[in-house]
Amino acid sequence: MENILDKFLRYVAIDTQSDDRSECQPTTSKQIDLQKVLQSELQAMGIASEIDEYGYLMASIPSNVDKDVPAIGFIAHVDTSPDCSGKDVKPQVIENYDGEDIVLNTMKNIVLQVDKFPELKQYKGSTIITTDGTTLLGADDKAGIAAIMYALDYIIQHPAMPHGDIKIAFTPDEEVGRGADHFDVEKFGAQYAYTIDGGEIGELEYENFNAAGVKISIQGQDIHPGYAKGKMINALNIATEINSLLPHTQRPEKTEGYQGFYHLTDMGGTVEEATMDYIIRDHDKELFEAKKKNMMDIVAMLNKRYGKDTIKIDIRDSYYNMKQQIEPHIHIVDKAVEAMKRCEVVPKIKPIRGGTDGARLSYEGLPCPNIFAGGHNFHSRYEYIPLQSMQKASAVILKIIELFVED
């Protein structure tokens, strides 16, 4: 069997960054480059797979037991975040990490500092994989892919291991919120599934944010500033006014745990025209709806001040908290907890301050909690992953498969 590190390093070498400005799916054709590599590896294992027109790769291993066992799926996404370059990734493998600062790039003086990322200390003595400080690493979610592929390789190499039907999907465009847009749940054929898309070792999540995207356009009126009194409407000033009217304490940098937020992700324009993009997040559905209403009320109030239709707002829900869809099937969470314990991993059940493909899939009839892949500092040049955490993720996948057969 090829070791999991070699798999991971091969996957991160392929640029798969998605693009939230694209209207296509997949949003970037380079995501298919990795899908083709994965399909080739699956074929070499003797596992049939298919890449559909939307860039989804699905594969299946049939049951080898006579008893009735639910079909279990494992899902990871191939794309990396638009927030940081994924081109020409140059991973660094640090064996027997000494627990001190890690110099990522001497020429650019980029350092992974323990005082800024104190969780590094818990991995002293481990093998750490980092970036070179110029790109993200891609552990989100190529570590999840590597963990799944290694588990599949193990199953093929150990045909006596009992298992039910195993379903695999590698999705495009998760990072831009479109990973489930064309996911065919019926075709996938799993009764339950797990996304392998969490962070540090032990993470297990079946609650996530309710999420919405907000687009605001502002139509100003430009007049020579020397003659502007009573005539100019400065779209940029209105944009800053909108942002100032939102509660400062409900920004991402001021919130944690179950606390929601408004997050300004993009703003630009001129005196004549300006645009703003926000995301709204909250675990509580009532608070989520209240945040959306607050933005609508602010726009309505400012339109009374500056004139009808000066500001236009479009709010679109992205996904919802999967908790209420998973709780009726809580045994799948219990299975993951037991699998971790048997693999000597301490389960850390907590809400996701984000979303996964599983959030939307759970609402489409496929209950789908999220399991750790092992990485830290996703979407960042400071991203890293302990090799042992990725190995444990693969072991947990195998143990979950065993536990469903044991029932």
Residue whose pair of structure tokens reads 């996964």 in the numeric block: 356
How is residue 336 written in tokens?
């993951």
Name the amino acid, one letter, at 110.
I
Residue 272's nearest CA partner among 307, 233, 303, 241 is 233
272 is catalytic: no
Q: With contact defined as beta carbons under 8 Å apart, do 192 and 329 qualify?
A: yes
Name the amino acid, one letter, at 123.
Y
79 is catalytic: yes
Q: Is 32 exposed, middle or buried (0-12, 13-18, 19+ CB in 10 A)?
A: middle
How far apart are the C-alpha atoms of 404 and 336, rounded to whole Å? 10
How is residue 263 written in tokens?
């997050």
How far apart are the C-alpha atoms of 162 and 65, rounded to whole Å? 6
Which is the catalytic residue, given 132, 153, 173, 174? 174
Angle made by CA atoms 166, 169, 171, in degrees to the nearest 5: 170
How far apart are the C-alpha atoms of 280 and 209, rounded to whole Å? 9
Residue whose pair of structure tokens reads 């045994």 in the numeric block: 331
Which is the catalytic residue, given 15, 41, 79, 141? 79
Residue 197: strand pairing partners? none
Q: Which residues are the active-site residues?
A: 79, 174
